[in-house]
Structures are given as structure tokens and as C-alpha cells.
């Protein structure tokens, strides 16, 4: 009971600070405040071909659209292809396997994954994905904070 009361008292101070932000000199980001949200259909988004041209990445939500806190991307790649093991220094990554199956590397572990699997990869964690299926992998993934999706523009070729 005492710990709950202490938590609520401390929490109340935090809530008061949120409401008092303008009065004590905090301001919100103008780009975040002006971002009104968006809806993107499956076939929409900036599409680029990566690697040998067989993998397609479609940027759905990007920092350049005003989304500062998160980006969202879709990708498709063929059997036997892989996303090499890598890590991100500044972003957490979340991955949803929409279709297909594969072998997911997360840190020191290699885990079989299949359609419907979700992975949350903290920044600084080694990870990768190999398509071990006979069909293409369809995945949806994103970053927090937004910004890393720009990498695909840099290494890819715009899809006609």
C-alpha cells in the first residue's frame, strides 16, 4: 500500500509537469505538432529496388513526411535471399513477417520464424533474416526514431 501511494504521488507530480510544460519553458517540436497523420494503402509508398534489384522496399511512413518518432516500410525478397546480419546504432527496429518463413538472427540466437511472427530489436543488437521458404518473404518493419528509412533511398534504385 505504501509503495502504491508513493507511486501515485510521484506520478501526480509527473502529470502536473506535463500540463505545466508551456509555463516552465518547454516547447513541443513544430514538425511533430503539425504532423496530422496519414493512411497508406498496400500498393502506395516510395518504392525502390535494392541489392541485385530483386528485393523491393516500399517506404510507407518516413521522417520526410513529418513522422519524427517512427517510420514504416514494407519489403519483399525471394527464396534464398537474406538481409545480412547488422545492427543499428541509433534506432530500435520492429519487424512483422507478413508472409513466408525464414531464419532470424537476434543477437547470438538463430530462430526459425514464420508468417505472423513479430520481432523487436533494440538498438545495438545484431540481427538478420534469411528466406528459407520456397515463396517470397513479405515483411513489414520500421524504426524508432524515424530516419533510417532514408538508407533505402541511398542504396536503392527507384522503381518505375
Question: Is the distance from CB of 149 to CB of 71 less than 8 angstroms?
Answer: yes
- Burial class of 82 by CB neighbour count within 10 A (0 to 12, 13 to 18, 19+): middle
Instruction: Write out pLDDT tens, residues 105-150.
Output: 999 999 999 999 999 999 999 999 999 999 999 999 999 999 999 9
Contact 94, 122 (CB under 8 A): no
**Higher-confidence position of 148 and 23:** 148
Name the residue ranges covered by the structural domains of the chain. 2-33, 37-158
Give domain 37-158's CATH architecture.
Sandwich (2.60)
Amino acid at each position: 500500500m505504501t509503495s502504491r501511494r508513493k507511486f501515485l504521488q510521484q506520478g501526480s507530480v509527473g502529470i502536473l509537469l506535463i500540463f505545466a510544460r508551456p509555463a516552465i519553458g518547454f516547447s513541443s517540436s513544430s514538425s511533430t505538432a503539425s504532423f496530422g497523420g496519414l493512411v497508406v494503402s498496400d500498393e502506395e509508398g516510395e518504392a525502390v529496388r535494392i541489392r541485385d534489384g530483386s528485393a523491393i522496399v516500399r517506404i510507407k511512413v518516413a521522417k520526410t513526411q513529418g513522422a519524427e518518432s517512427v517510420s514504416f516500410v514494407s519489403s519483399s525478397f525471394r527464396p534464398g535471399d537474406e538481409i545480412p546480419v547488422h545492427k543499428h546504432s541509433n534506432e530500435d527496429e520492429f519487424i512483422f513477417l507478413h508472409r513466408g518463413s525464414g531464419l532470424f538472427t537476434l543477437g547470438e540466437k538463430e530462430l526459425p520464424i514464420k508468417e505472423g511472427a513479430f520481432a523487436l530489436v533494440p538498438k545495438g543488437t545484431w540481427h538478420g533474416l534469411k528466406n528459407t521458404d520456397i515463396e517470397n518473404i513479405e515483411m513489414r518493419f520500421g524504426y524508432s526514431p524515424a530516419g533510417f528509412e532514408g538508407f533505402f533511398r541511398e542504396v536503392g534504385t527507384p522503381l518505375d
